Amino acid sequence: MAHRIGIMGGDGIGPEVITEGLKVIDALGIEYDRIDYDLGGERYLKDGTVLPDEIIEEWRGIDALYAGAVGTPDVPPGLIERGLLLRMRFELDLYINYRPFVAPGHDFVVIRENTEGTYAGEGGFLRKGTPYEIATQGSVNTRHGVERCVRYAFELAMKRNKHCTLVHKTNVLTFAGDLWERTFNEVAGEYPEVETAYNHVDAACIYFVDRPESYDVIVTDNLFGDILTDLGGAISGGIGLAPTANLNPSGMSMFEPVHGSAPDIVGTGKANPVAAILSGAMMLDHLGETEAADRIRAACANPNTLTGSTSEIGDLVVARL
Ligand code: IPM
Ligand code: MN
């Protein structure tokens, strides 16, 4: 049966890079039914639509969603990010945020918990607008949520170089950190072949720059993972090369480049489609088309030599398949 793939080009350079990703997937002869979704900042400005419930329901029945980027300068910051991206992660339980970083000298993956932590929306205001105003923003960490994420990281480490590092801030975040550390250590007991390490998140920022080769799989919470993966992109050839999978390992999952909609370069041909193309490869992995996915990764192996306009880079990747 053909795969059912939702396509959400989104805003800015999103549609441009997704076009190149689909060019590469099509060149491999992958068969799929394509369902297009017009969502993002531009759509919101047109008719106020962010993410209708019917579309969430429809997504439960497809195999994957391939997305460009969302965000338009005229929309209040955060509205589309929370209403579309975060809602999708929560409602479809895309609990693994999988971000690989490959560059000369290092090859590691950050497994970021994708549904809890400070992103869960716990908190609120008291006495808002007064001089005694209080704002709290809690970090939600469930045993279930932490354990499934840590377990995923160990399973991945078993398929890779059998090394797994927990990144947290246990010296200060004594409740959340304790739950993460205990869970990590207990799960580690089930994987005696996997060597483990622990870094405080601030120290991890130094090690990312100084000795990134010491990592294989990193597992961390939602906010630490958000910040660390931008750093990961910066030390791995730039954000134009960094792909993401938002995974529900047993269901519909979403694939997107880490970068944003870059409205300043729309239509100039300057957008680098490699991150989107590599996100397409991750989607093919999820669909069981691992051979095709490996061919894409091999074709993108020397990203410095992939130069030219957005569509020229897409053509070059196709030529190297
Ligand atoms: C990311 C992005 C999102 C996040 C934003 C757009 C909500 O920065 O995917 O890393 O913080 O998770
Ligand atoms: Mn981010």
d(CA 148, CA 111): 11
Active site residue 128: no
Q: Which ligand is nearest to the CA of 83?
A: 1
Minimum-distance ligand 1 atom for the alpha carbon of 229: 10
Minimum-distance ligand 1 atom for the alpha carbon of 222: 12
Q: Is the CB of 84 under 6 A from ligand 1?
A: no
> Within 13 A of 27's CA, how many CA atoms are on the CB side?
21
> Within 13 A of 261's CA, how many CA atoms are on the CB side?
21
298, two tokens:
């091999």
* b/e 151-160 (16+ beta carbons within 10 angstroms → b): ebbbbbbeee
Residue 133 pLDDT: 98
Minimum-distance ligand 1 atom for the alpha carbon of 97: 9
Active site residue 26: no
Minimum-distance ligand 1 atom for the alpha carbon of 226: 10
Residue 1 pLDDT: 73
Kindly report, residue by residue over 204-234, the tens digit of the pLDDT.
999 999 999 999 999 999 999 999 999 999 9
Residues of the chain with pLDDT under 50: none
Collapsing DSSP to helix, strand or coil, 140 comes out as strand
**Do the beta carbons of residue 94 and residue 88 sit within 8 Å?**
yes
Name the catalytic one among 169, 215, 221, 285.
Answer: 169
Name the catalytic one among 32, 66, 95, 119.
Answer: 119
Identify residues whose C-beta is under 5 A from ligand 2, the ion: 226
Residue 154 pLDDT: 99
Residue 43 pLDDT: 97
Active site residue 202: yes
Closest CA to 279 of 8, 73, 86: 8
Q: Is the CB of 285 under 6 A from ligand 1?
A: no
**Do the beta carbons of residue 48 and residue 80 sit within 8 Å?**
no
Residue 196 pLDDT: 98
* Ligand 2 mean position, distance from CA 27 (Å): 31
Residue 136 pLDDT: 98
Active site residue 32: no
Give helix 290-299 / helix 14-27 axis angle, nearest 10°: 120
Name the catalytic one among 33, 202, 210, 294.
Answer: 202
Residue 113 has phi, psi (to 5 degrees) of -65, 135
* Partners of residue 103 on adjacent β-strands: 106
Residue 16 pLDDT: 98
* Ligand 2 mean position, distance from CA 201 (Å): 16
* Ligand 2 mean position, distance from CA 223 (Å): 9
Question: Given the structure tokens 């354990």, which residue do they identify?
Answer: 147
Quick check: pTM over 0.85? yes
d(CA 119, CA 121): 5
Residues 24, 294, 237: CA angle, nearest 5 degrees: 80
